[in-house]
């Protein structure tokens, strides 16, 4: 049995969005953090642009 969950590999970019009150922020495992946005869709777009997707 192998463990597929583990630390991010160098060069891997796994993004998430986090809500902070009225704002949503995109973050990445590489340390990048997007600006606070009122629209979740815009935070998701920031994350997508960061990963090149």
Instruction: Report the 3 state secondary structure along the chain.
Output: CCCCCCCCCCCCCCEEEEEECCEEEEEECCCCECCCECCHHHHHHHHHHHHCC
Question: Domain ranges in the chain?
Answer: 15-51
pTM for the complete prediction? 0.73
Which tens digits make up the pLDDT trace of 1-53? Answer: 334 444 555 568 899 999 999 999 999 999 999 999 999 999 999 999 999 87
CA–CA dist 45, 11 (Å, integer): 20
Which tens digits make up the pLDDT trace of 30-39? Answer: 999 999 999 9
């Amino acid at each position: 049995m192998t463990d597929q969950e583990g630390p991010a590999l160098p060069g891997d970019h796994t993004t998430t969005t986090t809500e902070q009150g009225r704002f949503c922020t995109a973050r990445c495992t590489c340390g990048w953090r997007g600006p606070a946005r009122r629209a979740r869709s815009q935070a998701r777009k920031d994350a997508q642009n960061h990963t090149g997707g």
